[in-house]
Structure 1
Amino acid sequence: MLSNNKLQGPLPRSLVKCVNLSLLYLDHNEFGDIFPHWLEAPQLQSLDLQSNKFNGRINLTALRLSFPALELLVISNNNFTGRLPIELFSNTSLAIIDLSNNEFGGPIPLASPVTFYYSIANNKITGKIPSLICKATKLQVIDFSNNSLTGSLPRCLTSFSTDLSVLNLRMNYLQGTIPPSFSSRSSLMTLDLSRNLIEGTLPRSLVKCKNLEVLDLSDNRIEDTFPRWLGTLPELKVLVLSSNNLKDLLDIPMGAHLFPKLHIMDLSNNNFSGPLPANLIMNLKGMMTDENGQDKSLYMTRSFGSASYENSVTVTMKGLEIELVKILTFLTIMDLSHNSFQGDIPKVIGHLHSLVGLNLSQNHLTGSIPPTLGNLTDLGWLDLSSNKLKGAIPRELGDLASLGYLNLSKNQLTGRIPQDMHLGTFPSDSFNENPGLCGTPLPKACPGDAQSPPPLVLINFDRKGHESWFEQKTVWLGYASGIVIGISIAYIAFEMEKPKWLMRGVRMLERRAAKWTEKPQRKAIKFHGQ
């Protein structure tokens, strides 16, 4: 076991003399060259070469002959290429197969009958998902995401009588409908079919998946109304249905007890109409407290023997689409933007005390901004732009010390921007295209005002000192591999611009680990690795 070092070069051929070797962990180093075809270890059970610099084609026949007892094969995060034959693993004893993040092509190889963890994510795999994949009756994790798979979703994948916990097929070219055959015995915890070409309605058989925690069907062609029946799922924490053709009203009856643990809800880019759903908001108990159930872990990670699966999600943070390859358990987001909601912003939204992000932009909202938004003390970003909001900006927004991004532009707001130290640090873009607004940071002075001085909070800003402090705090958050991230987005600000608003991030980190956000950027960032 030589994991997590800085070892370089090709593997030494003297390893061939280790005929009794049963475990070889060389992951997270800088080994290069091609796969060591010369290595013969008849008793080897576990081989982990992930996150190195290996490249080229693998002699797959030699792989099976050299390691007849292999049970764990992890070669992810390298630069391996070549076509994978469909019978590659079918007659092996492999229980864990992880070939993700390489350049493999060809069809999906059939899994071994004893395989329970199978990932070929982020490759160039093509063709249809073979129905024979369901012959591997012990499968618990299937991750075929980010490939070029076509065809429809095999019905057998949704009616497994086994312990299938994760089905991730996102970012492919799958068509057709979701089969209405989810088994009542399903132990499914994650279902991610996002970014495909799936049509039809949502199958109500999903309510049988009582252990479902993450449901992501975004960026498809689903036509339906709001599936409030999903609210009966007792463990549902992440619901992402954005960029589909969902329509009509979005509400639930008063007194209904639904969505008790939901803490990420993204319904953006649909055709919902009517008032914002006050009754639904009052049911979101998971957004009203900092404690999401009894889960004390930092990320939504699930362990499967000696392998683990990281739940991921793509969200819009501060106008920037970001893929979070790890979901923080306390990350609480509501995104209802790009719909046709009308009327006032409900005052009860101020009860969602653990909200980190709130986006209601691109709707037809009227009325004033409720002062109860000042109760959202953990709020990191707030976007109410492109509506028809009127009246003054509540002074309570200036008390949100965690707020790192604010967009109130393109409304009908009037009066003086509250001149406190916090609101004065935001750029003028946060308030543009409100003809009735005046005061700092807008160039338009209010009647009777002298020229506004620059915000005092930015005077004598010691950027170098705060950057050093920032590095220390973000490393403390537990992100490995030298990637400095706040809640998976602090990295953008620190590495790209190191802007003045970093002061707000400093205050935010003091309030709670990882609860801070950054100024919008001009290009999208996708985070990989650990």
Structure 2
Amino acid sequence: MIDTKASDFCDFYQMSSYPKTNSWNKAVDCCSWDGVTCANVTGNVINLNLSCSWLRGTLRSNISLILPKLEVLQLFGNNFQGPLPIPPPSPSYFNASSNGFTGEIPLSICQLKSLRYLDLSANNLSGNIPPCLGSMTNLSYLILSRNNFQGPFPIPPPSTSYFSASSNGFTGEIPLSICQLKSLHHLDLSANNLSGNIPLCLGSMTNLSYLILSRNNFQGPLISLICLPIISLAIQWFHRNMTNLLVLNLSSNYFTGQLPTKVFLNNSLDVIDLSNNMIRGPIPLPSPITFYYDIARNDITGKITPLICNATKLEVIDLSNNSLTSRLPRCLTNFSTKLLVLNLRKNHLEGTIPQSFSSRSNLATLNLSRNWFEGTLPRSLVECKHLEVPDLSNNQIEDTFPSWLGKLPELKVLNLRSNNFKDLLNIPRGAHLFSNLHILDLSNNNFRGPLPTNLLMNLKAMTDGKTGQEKLLYMTRQSYENSMTLTMKGLEIELVKILTILTTVDLSHNSFQGDIPEVFGHLHSLIGLNLSHNYLTGSIPLTLGNLTNLEWLDLSSNKLSGGIPRKLGDLSFLGSLNLSKNQLTGHIPQDKQLSTFSSDSFSGNPGLCGTPLPKACPSNAQPPQPSPSSTFDCEGHESWFKQKKVWIGYASRIVIGISIAYIAFEIGRPKWLAR
């Protein structure tokens, strides 16, 4: 049956999909049908390619009777359901991945003695793997990832060169017999429940290029796997036996111990990911040819040595969530034109940030948050023309607002929260700055004066509502997912992924004074607004009722007066509202969304009355009527805005909710895998 959504997986990865069977006509030879290939001499169908064909339903189990000479069967990227169909004994290639097949793998699959390629990934298959798979002597590629398989770890046949069983429920230890697979070059067992120590004989598998064991329960000293117990021979052994290894991913396990600093220096590793373990000691230096290096969330101590700058191929450096100390080496900000991501978050680094960012830099993500950096921001940051996400929050930086960063054309996030930034916050009228900004967090600083009207008028990405309407995307670079801590709905949340449609302004915990500018009402894409803990006065502007995408609004702990605008009740996505500790008066409107909030949203306003507060209104009190909206002209600035109707569907709300709840660990595929 044709289903236009059955091949959405293909569309997501920009693979061509269309209903191939629409062209099938019984009146013509089936060998001319789209997706069908026949043998020249016999006319038998030997290749049936139904990949990405918009198909769903259950397949017949008698394929072997209908197509007895079939050599290639491709069912990838549809929505087939029910039991897994088994092709005739002749095929050498069978791809049933990215469907909805259920149940166990039939034992009859082991009769496919000619099979060299078997891909059953991304289905709903379950149960144990038939042991007879290990006797399929011609099998070279075996892919079982992203199913619901359980039981002990399956050992593929000795002929296997590529084996992936990631994202299942396999348990127990890796048996020593895995080391008999002398041809194996790719081994991915990530995201299972495997445990125990890793067989040391893995180090003798000289053809192994990809070793991916992340997100399991492996334990023990890491040096036992990477090095011989005799430390003096360790580096020589590793260089001799693992010379072909390109990818080493042991992240998110329970490995312990300390690695020699030079253990990786003379090998061919492109990717080193040891993050989220319990490794201690100084930084084990990456190879000079490594492009992805992640040792985050361990107990790495000491200084960042300048020797790391010898790895000039590095594109991603993540040393975050460790115990590194002292100053940054000056070379770290300009040693490579290839560097895209530098993440040093949550260490004990101190001193000033080096003033040596280069105009040749390709840096897109700079995360120095939660350290002890002081001094001023380096003005050379403006040379990083590709910078998208600078996170300098939770330091001791003392400076004025860096309006010069607004010149960066790709800047999407500016997080300066919890520092010592001070004085007035504004930019010159008519300056074209910060036009692509999605997230502005200046909370918990020492800014003063009026709220920055000119700056707010420049936030075009929050005004026109174009960003993220077509696809829900994350802020990534080279498949590295940016993370950030923000205050959302009154809670401090660590986002391990940042949606491009997430648009927030947080100016809380400063010393801003005066009225709330009506210009906020033109930021139509805004999802979160926090102006709490300032000295703001005047009434709540009616224009805030135009923010139809708003999910949280915090105006608490100010000196706001007047009534609560009924128009706030029209904000159907508003899930968190805090107007407490102000000087608001009158009856609390119970219109639409406003009726969903508890008394906590309105407490600390002696002049408010009515539900949900315990204070009843006088019998002659009437609910507040909408007051005429004041004209917004800002001396001719109305031309800066074009009212546009913005639609961000319910799916967007669900994904943002998932992002907010998604705090602890990243559960997708390895960040470097899509390179």
**TM-score bucket of the superposed structures, by smaller chain:** 0.7 to 0.9
**Structure 1: how far apart are the matches of 2:513 and 2:433?**
23
Change (3 A) 1:445 1:296: same
Q: What residue number does 1:358 align with?
A: 529
Report the alpha carbon displacement of residue 509 of structure 1 after superposing the two structures with TM: 6.9
Q: Which secondary structure does the structure 1 equivalent of 2:440 belong to?
A: strand
1:344 to 512, 515, 526: 515
Contact kept in structure 2, 1:273 and 1:342, CA below 8 Å: yes
Counterpart in the other structure of 1:479:
none
1:413 aligns with 2:579: no
Deviation of 1:208 after TM superposition, in Å, equals 0.6
Q: Deviations over 1:323-375 (max 9, x none)?
A: 00000110011000000000000000101011111000000000000000001
Q: Report matched runs for 1:111-510 at 5 Å.
A: 111-292=286-467, 296-303=471-478, 308-448=479-619, 510=650
Q: Distance in 1 between matches of 2:597 and 2:347?
A: 39
Shift of 1:514: 2.9
Distance 1:513 1:525 in 2: 14
Distance 2:384 2:470 in 1: 20
Tell me if structure 2 keeps the 8 A contact 1:380–1:515: no
Q: Distance in 1 between matches of 2:468 and 2:253?
A: 37
**Paired residue type of 2:665:** H
Q: Distance in 2 between matches of 1:446 and 1:181?
A: 63
In the alignment, does 2:664 pair up with 1:527? Answer: yes
- Match of 1:386, SS state, is coil
**Shift of residue 382 of structure 1?**
0.3
Contact kept in structure 2, 1:286 and 1:292, CA below 8 Å: yes
Residue among 260, 281, 284 paired with 1:106: 281
Aligned to 2:221: 57
Q: For residues 515 and 396 of structure 1, what CA distance do their matches in structure 2 show? A: 26
1:494 equivalent in structure 2: none
1:51/1:512 Cα in 2 relative to 1: closer, same or farther (>3 Å)? Answer: closer
Task: State the alpha-carbon separation in 1 of the partners of residues 251 and 616 from structure 2.
Answer: 58
Distance 1:142 1:295 in 2: 31
Pairing 1:28–2:191 present:
yes
The residue that corresponds to 2:265 in the other structure is 90
2-structure distance, mates of 1:366, 1:319: 21
Call closer, same or farther: CA 1:252–1:433 in 2, change over 3 Å: same
Q: Which residue of 1 aligns with 2:180?
A: 17
With structure 2 as the length reference, what TM-score do the two structures score? 0.67
Pairwise CA distance, 1:449: 7.0
Shift of 1:3: 1.2
Task: Write the deviation string for residues 432-471 of structure 1: whole angstroms up to 9, x where unpaired.
Answer: 0101001111111111179x9xxxxxxxxxxxxxxxxxxx
Cα contact 1:381–1:517 (8 A) shared by 2: no
> 1 or 2 for the larger relative contact order (CA 8 Å, sep ≥6)?
1
Paired AA for residue 416 in structure 1:
H
One-letter amino acid matched to 1:364: Y
1:527 shift after superposition: 2.5
User: Given that residues 587 and 609 in structure 2 are in contact (C-alpha distance below 8 angstroms), is that contact kept between their aligned partners in structure 1?
Assistant: yes
What is the TM-score normalised by the length of structure 1?
A: 0.85
In 2: Cα distance, 1:509 partner to 1:426 partner: 23
Q: State the distance in 2 between where 1:152 and 1:49 align.
A: 34
Cα drift, residue 512 of structure 1: 4.0
Query: Counterpart in 2 of 1:472?
Result: none
Shift of 1:283: 0.1
Secondary structure, in 3 states, of the residue corresponding to 1:105?
Answer: strand
- Hey, what's the Cα distance between the residues in 1 that align with 2:540 and 2:198? 60
Cα distance, 1:172–1:516 mapped onto 2, change above 3 Å:
closer
CA–CA distance in 1 between the matches of 2:320 and 2:419? 19
> 1:55·1:80 contact (CA, 8 Å) conserved in 2?
yes
Tell me what 1:514 maps to: 654
Instruction: Give the equivalent residue in structure 2 for 1:75.
Output: 250
How far does residue 419 in structure 1 lie from its aligned partner after superposition? 2.0
How many Å separate the matches in 2 of 1:515 and 1:165? 26
Q: Unpaired segments of 5 or more residues in structure 1?
A: 453-507
After superposition, the Cα gap between the structure-2 partners of 1:295 and 1:111, relative to the gap in structure 1 and judged at 3 Å, is farther
**1:47 matched to 2:222:** no
Name the counterpart of 2:128: none
Runs of 4+ in 1 over 2 A off after TM superposition: 65-68, 289-297, 508-518, 524-527
Distance 2:571 2:655 in 1: 12
Deviations 1:41-86 (A, max 9, x none): 1011110000111011121324725422111000101111111210
